[in-house]
Amino acid sequence: MSLFNLFDTAGSALHAQTIRLNTTSSNLANANSASSSNGDTYRARQPVFSAIVDQFATEEGAVKGVRVMGIVESQTPLRHEYQPGHPLADEEGYVFMPNVNVVEEMANMISASRSYQTNVEVMNTAKQMLMRTLSMGQ
């Protein structure tokens, strides 16, 4: 029954958007986590989305939803701040700050939240369609 599959599709999107919200909140929480070396510093994380495509699809539909292929760390350079009073500062008084762009993260958060809402709406509509189908002829 094809309408039931709509729940899987929308569900996969809800899952993906939840992961996106999770990475965003992690990035925002660590936006000011200073560190003394380049390797230890937190880097902004982003999920990579990819469509689940069924190669041998017929009437069942070609695309089945969305999945998170993985989470990548941002490659933009870290911020190098002069804070001589900081306990983690090196000999010259510099600390490494994460490469989290707070403005970008906020925009990401809003986008993820809107996409989540859209898919919840899809699920509600699918539920309504199924409920009406079940009560047909009554």
Partner 1 sequence: MPMNFDSILGPHEKALNMQAYRARILGANLANSDTPGYKARDLDFKAAMSEAETAGSIRSLVTTSKMHIQPEGYAFGAELLYRRPLQPSLDGNTVETQVEMAEFSENAMRYLTSLRIVGGRFNKMLSALRGE
Among 32, 61, 93, 110, binds partner 1 (CB under 8 A): 61
> Residue 46 is encoded by which pair of tokens?
């982003």
Q: Residues 5-24: x/- map of binding to partner 1 (CB under 8 A)?
A: xx--xx-xx--xx--x----
Report 88-127 residues binding partner 1 (CB under 8 A).
111-112, 114-115, 118-119, 121-122, 125-126
Least distance from C-beta 26 to partner 1, angstroms? 18
Q: What share of the chain is helix, strand, coil (3-state, %, to 5)?
A: 45, 20, 35
Write down the residue that tokens 């993260």 correspond to: 105
> Residue 77 is encoded by which pair of tokens?
């350079």
The CA radius of gyration of the chain, in Å to the nearest whole number, is: 22
Q: Which of 61, 97, 106 is nearest to 78 (CA)?
A: 97
Q: Residues 65-84: x/- map of binding to partner 1 (CB under 8 A)?
A: xx------------------
Least distance from C-beta 16 to partner 1, angstroms? 8
Least distance from C-beta 88 to partner 1, angstroms? 36
Q: Which of 9, 1, 2 is nearest to 123 (CA)?
A: 9
C-alpha span between 76 and 58 (Å, rounded): 43
Contacts to partner 1 by CB under 8 A: 2-3, 5-6, 9-10, 12-13, 16-17, 20, 49-51, 55-59, 61-66, 111-112, 114-115, 118-119, 121-122, 125-126, 128-129, 132-133, 136-138
